[in-house]
Amino acid sequence: MSLKLKVLAAAFAFSFSFSATAAPRTYIAPAAERDAARAIADAYRGLSSKIPLELYDVDGLAESLDYDVATAADFVRDNIAYDPYLGVMRGPEGTISASAGSSWDQAVLLAALINSMAGEAMIVKGTLEKKDAERLLQVSFKDRAPLATGLMVEDVTEALKPFVPRSRLDEIIAEARDMEQNADENTLAADRDVSQLVKSLSASLATAGISIAQTDAAQTDRLVAQIAEEYVWVRYRNTPNDPWVDVHPAFQNAAAPKVEPEQFIAGTVPDDRLHKIEIRLEIERKTGDKLERISIMSPYSRPAANLALTQIDIGIAPDTVRSDGEAAYFIPIMNQAPAERGQAFTLQGLTASAEDVAAGPAIFATVGSKYGDALGGLDETTGKADTAPRLSGVILTVVHISPGGASTSTERRLTDFRQEMPESPSRLVSFHGVIDVDVGPENGARAIKDTLESAADFARILPYYKGIVEGKITPEDAASHPAFEADQSISSWTEMLTLGSIFNQNGKHDRWLVRTGPMVSMRRVQHVANTKGIMRQTIDIITDGTLSLAHTNGTVFVNPTGNFEQGIRTTIAEHALGSGPTTSDWRLRDVTAVLPDLASLKAWSDQANVSLLVRDRLNDDFEQGSVLVLLEHESTPLWWRIDTRTGQTLGMGPNGGEVTKEYAAFLKSASSAVTAFGIGYASYSCEASYPDNPSMRVCCLAGNLLIAAGAGKFVAAANANWASRITELGASGLAYLTGALGTEIVYGGIVGAAIPLPDYVCRAVLE
């Protein structure tokens, strides 16, 4: 079995099912299958309970420090490294997980620990002298201990071996060990790939008279000034009768600076010191030649530190699916419920509040009538007119708000009907996305724990997914079956965990990569099948803020070239995570054009006759102050977006209170419709692709069910020769091992138990 199929990274737990409230259905899985599923769930929960709390939890860490305030101060000073980014990005839990943080994150963690120990702590803000800020920047280059691992190999194999044949267990363990032993070779291969692309792109830029600097003195000076202005430390005491003690954890064991207090913060962190992420969903309506955007939900805004603790479910769900596969209207979904102040909408681009729609789709007839009257009416014969409104797009916007208030906004047009309305538009409008906010390398403990808990939830439903494959439950019945009522609120998408260290490649004593803002990425599933009947999934990095630093002769400086290399590495990793086809491999396409200005961009777009969607993406990238490097145009154009000043680089492509009774009824409708829609199209695609091949149809259906449930593609932690370094099977290695074993369990439970199938039959479908 291929590596792509082997790794579902610990759990087919990324469920997209919603709590259904309809009457129970009659099908009950056989007792033996239910008992087996319960045993698997118990095994996953047993593994979860083994992960030490002190690796990711403030109270757990306080307990491990015996609730001693002075010990807590020593621990943060000695064990939490300094990273030179601004404000609070990781929060106390994230700082524990990363064993590193800014002066703000270090102080927030220490204050939280002391307060949990019944001590008293406050954060103190002051301005460092320039020499101390430069000294602090050098502290970030101190050697760091490897991140702790929450589980041992033996823990995983012992817990899951009852469910996997001994021969396969031995094979999987051997594969994981091979990954570990080949880590150096794989890392060197990755470096070779990156180096070749750096040379190729640099040569193309040089031909256009463009270069990326090795150093940037002005940016270095700005960074030093920001570090000085942003500096905080902690003042604490054990009891009200004790004297106050100042501790400067950012400087670790170096001499503490002399700095005057300017502000004391005893409560919550000021809002303007937080990194925040805001998510918006809009539809676009076209009326004649006019395009207008309409918000379909309240902006969803949270601190990045909070979002890094979990993942965000987002999607567009149909109300129901008619016999022709189309929907009457659609609902924006956030975290498994209709979005706050959500606006349902139709393919005509008409909108109505969720509460109104709960009364029935007739509300749209009223809205449409009023709209039609204002336009002079629709054509009575065809129902169409040049002036008739219609849906032309669904647009996702992600905004990163930095400490101080500066913001960066990135758009992704998820649906593009501007030129024409396609056949089966409902499938293109509907999608399920999981948004992940990464704030830097971590020990993986909290992510693996969530994954294991999700795996336990999903395992309990396995017999009923098997029932769908066997035809004992229809997709419509599955939406309201009691087996699917369990809370699936934990959303775990582990591709970013299993290859996460690639996005934070470090290890060189003279170079250091700092995450200056969260990396926001999205896994999106649309119910559009490929030629093999498998639904389409894309992985898209939406925002990615990094800063490369270099250290030479006792001096630290900003290194744009290092950022350039990191962007290339990130792009190659993203490509493998999405299991893109060979034809779109960034390493195989040649450069065809360098576009340094708007005139050259327009000329190329006109000559290539690219779609509106591609033009939009190109223009958006160019507006961010970038040079675009086009690659040879096959079926889909690809390009490198390069900010030649900072070196920021990324490969791009066209594809990124009280509730009324009526609202409760609407929630029920949305919940069942989402599940039925996903499973329904999963079934439809496979029936269409394999009408005369029952074995392949079952394989296809099993693969689609896992994708619809949120399991994602079957991606390995080492599915390419540049896989990340794995030291003693850390977080990535454990995710591989647990996922490989989990795949054996689920693959056998869903497919193998339904129809005995040789491995080679399913490989072509599920890879």
Lowest mean pLDDT segment, chosen from 345-359, 528-542, 572-586: 572-586
pLDDT tier at 2 (50, 70, 90 boundaries)?
very low
Q: With 60 as the cut, is the pLDDT of residue 675 above it?
A: yes
Q: Which residue has the higher pLDDT, 327 or 279?
A: 279
Q: Which residue has the higher pLDDT, 495 or 463?
A: 463
Q: Which residue has the higher pLDDT, 634 or 448?
A: 448
Out of 223, 242, 273, pick the residue that ends a domain: 273
Q: With 60 as the cut, is the pLDDT of residue 565 above it?
A: yes
Give pLDDT, residue 503. 54
- Angle in degrees, CA 278, 282, 283, rounded to 5: 165
| Type of residue numbered 644 | T
User: What's the pTM?
Assistant: 0.86
Query: 666 vs 79, 368, 402, 670, 673, CA distance in Å?
Result: 50, 21, 37, 6, 10
Residue 238 lies in a domain: yes
Retrieve residue 88's tokens. Answer: 């609070």
Residue 620 lies in a domain: yes
Calpha distance 513→546 (Å, rounded): 7
Residues 545, 400 contacting (CB under 8 angstroms): yes
% of the chain residues with pLDDT over 70:
73
Q: Which residue has the higher pLDDT, 510 or 316?
A: 316
Range from 101-105, 318-322, 714-718 that averages highest in pLDDT: 101-105
Question: Region 79-101: what's the mean pLDDT?
Answer: 96
Those residues with Cβ within 8 angstroms of residue 750's Cβ, 6 or more apart along the chain or in another chain: 462, 465, 466, 469, 702, 705, 706
Those residues with Cβ within 8 angstroms of residue 482's Cβ, 6 or more apart along the chain or in another chain: 20, 24, 25
Residue with tokens 């579902």: 8
Give pLDDT, residue 361. 60
3-state secondary structure (DSSP) of residue 140: coil
Query: 161 vs 158, 298, 650, 732, CA distance in Å?
Result: 6, 47, 41, 20
Residue 576 lies in a domain: no
Out of 637, 666, 693, pick the residue that ends a domain: 637
pLDDT tier at 242 (50, 70, 90 boundaries)?
very high
Q: 635-664: per-residue pLDDT in tens?
A: 678 899 999 999 999 888 876 444 445 555
Count of H-run helices and E-run strands, the chain: 26, 26
pLDDT tier at 243 (50, 70, 90 boundaries)?
very high
Those residues with Cβ within 8 angstroms of residue 291's Cβ, 6 or more apart along the chain or in another chain: 284, 285, 392, 418
| Type of residue numbered 720 | A
CATH number, domain at 63?
3.10.620.30
Tally of domains in the chain: 2
Calpha distance 275→609 (Å, rounded): 40
Residues 426, 326 contacting (CB under 8 angstroms): yes
| Type of residue numbered 178 | D
Give pLDDT, residue 221. 96
Give pLDDT, residue 252. 93
Closest CA to 398 of 300, 268, 284: 300
Q: With 50 as the cut, is the pLDDT of residue 16 above it?
A: no
Q: With 60 as the cut, is the pLDDT of residue 365 above it?
A: yes
Residue 356 lies in a domain: no
Residue 486 lies in a domain: no
Q: With 60 as the cut, is the pLDDT of residue 562 above it?
A: yes
DSSP code for 99: T
pLDDT tier at 303 (50, 70, 90 boundaries)?
very high
Closest CA to 84 of 134, 125, 33, 9: 134
Q: With 70 as the cut, is the pLDDT of residue 667 above it?
A: no
Residue 256 lies in a domain: yes
Residue 140 lies in a domain: no
**What are the phi and psi torsion angles at 85 (to 5°)?**
-115, 170
Rg (CA), the chain: 27
State the CB neighbour count (10 A cutoff) for residue 708.
26
Q: 739-755: per-residue pLDDT in tens?
A: 555 555 555 554 444 44
% of the chain residues with pLDDT over 90:
37
Calpha distance 379→386 (Å, rounded): 9
Full DSSP string of 682-693: HHHHHHHH-TT-
Q: With 70 as the cut, is the pLDDT of residue 368 above it?
A: no
Q: 150-200: per-residue pLDDT in tens?
A: 777 778 778 877 877 777 677 767 766 676 666 566 667 777 888 899 999
Question: Region 556-560: what's the mean pLDDT?
Answer: 94
- Indicate the helix (H) or strand (E) that contains 373: helix 362-375
pLDDT tier at 7 (50, 70, 90 boundaries)?
very low
Retrieve residue 272's tokens. Answer: 């303007």
Give pLDDT, residue 506. 53
Residue 603 lies in a domain: yes
Out of 580, 611, 637, pick the residue that ends a domain: 637
Give pLDDT, residue 329. 86
> Could you give the dihedral angle defined by the CA atoms of residues 584, 586, 588 and 590, in that order, rounded to the nearest 10 degrees?
100
Question: Region 370-392: what's the mean pLDDT?
Answer: 57
Residue-number span of the structural domain to which 616 is assigned = 590-637
Give pLDDT, residue 358. 64
Those residues with Cβ within 8 angstroms of residue 170's Cβ, 6 or more apart along the chain or in another chain: none
pLDDT tier at 58 (50, 70, 90 boundaries)?
very high
Q: With 60 as the cut, is the pLDDT of residue 263 above it?
A: yes
β-bridge mates for residue 236, sequence order: 121, 245
- Indicate the helix (H) or strand (E) that contains 523: strand 519-529
Question: Region 31-40: what's the mean pLDDT?
Answer: 84
Give pLDDT, residue 81. 95
Give pLDDT, residue 476. 66
Question: Region 694-716: what's the mean pLDDT?
Answer: 62
Work out the widest C-alpha separation in the chain, in whole angstroms: 86
Range from 39-43, 48-52, 320-324, 659-663 that averages highest in pLDDT: 48-52
Q: With 80 as the cut, is the pLDDT of residue 3 above it?
A: no
- Indicate the helix (H) or strand (E) that contains 450: helix 445-459
Closest CA to 526 of 432, 656, 414: 432
Q: 193-225: per-residue pLDDT in tens?
A: 888 999 999 999 999 999 999 999 999 999 999
pLDDT tier at 708 (50, 70, 90 boundaries)?
low
DSSP code for 88: B
Give pLDDT, residue 706. 65
pLDDT tier at 716 (50, 70, 90 boundaries)?
very low
